[in-house]
Structures are given as C-alpha cells and as structure tokens.
Amino acid sequence: STGWKDEKVIDTIIMERLESVGLQTKAHKKPHQLSGGEQQRAAIARALLNEPEIILADEPTGNLDSETATEIMELLLKIHRQNGPAIIIVTHNKSLIERYPGRVFLCEDSCCREVTNQQEIYFSLEL
C-alpha cells in the first residue's frame, strides 16, 4: 500500500512509472495480454511506485529471449543511474555476470560471500 488517497495523484504517478519503463500505451492491458518482457517491465514499474532504495530482482531475465533480457537489464541499469536504488539481481546466468559486472555474491550451503575471482564464479555456476 502506498498510502496515497487522491485518485488523480495516483493515476499520474502510475502513468509516470509506466512511462519510465516504456509501457505508457499498455496501461489498459491485462497481464495475460502482455509479452514476457512487458510483464517484467510492468513488475519493475510496480516496484518503483514507492521509490524504493533497493530493488530485488529474482531471475529478471529467466524466461526471456536474449534481446528482451538485454532490454530488461538496460532498463534496470537506467533506473539505478537515474533514481539511485540499489539493484540486487539473483541469477544463475553467467552471461549476465560477464556483461553487467558489479559486486558478486555467491550463495551456497546456507552462506553468502562476496566473490572477486571470476573463475570461482564460473565453477560454482556449473555445479
């Protein structure tokens, strides 16, 4: 819940968030009428409603083709650069780690630790 009461303010903010992810023309669509990439962008717009400090994206490109996956990752980077939220991405996708470098944490055996050695990342992802 956003705590917002004014319907006009609510509609304006929703349209701003949809526009920020390129879905302003799809506001009237039901989720099943959207493509997988559009559904991901709608989820990102929804996450942005309360101007979060952190966005947690669990396999945001998991069911997408490579072109759409790139669009989603570029959108997340744009949001980070423009609005400042930290973006935490959970993935098994090695190419995302290669293409979008950042701090990498490896979670296994009920522990998470930062990894700086790329070979260790690749070895763990292949298990």
Residue of 79, 35, 17, 37 whose CA lies nearest to 27: 17
Tell me how far apart the alpha carbons of residues 29 and 102 are, in angstroms, rounded to a whole number. 35
**Residue 3 confidence (pLDDT):** 67
**C-alpha Rg value of the chain to the nearest Å:** 17
Burial group, residue 121, by CB count within 10 angstroms (0-12, 13-18, 19+): middle
**Residue 73 confidence (pLDDT):** 92
**Residue 4 confidence (pLDDT):** 66
Would you state the structure tokens that stand for residue 113, as one six-digit string?
Answer: 């630790």
Rounded to two decimals, the pTM is 0.78
Give 18's pLDDT tier (boundaries 50, 70, 90): very high
Give the mean pLDDT of 37-65: 90
**Residue 88 confidence (pLDDT):** 93
Report the half-sphere exposure of 44 (CA within 13 A, side-chain side): 31
* 122 has a pLDDT exceeding 80: no
Give the mean pLDDT of 30-45: 92
Buried-state track 87-114, b at ≥16 Cβ within 10 A, e below 16: bebebebeebbeebeeebeeeeeeeeee
* 29 has a pLDDT exceeding 90: yes
Tell me how far apart the alpha carbons of residues 31 and 42 are, in angstroms, rounded to a whole number. 9
pLDDT digits (tens, 9 = 90+) for 64-121: 888 999 999 999 999 999 888 999 999 888 888 888 878 888 888 899 889 887 666 6
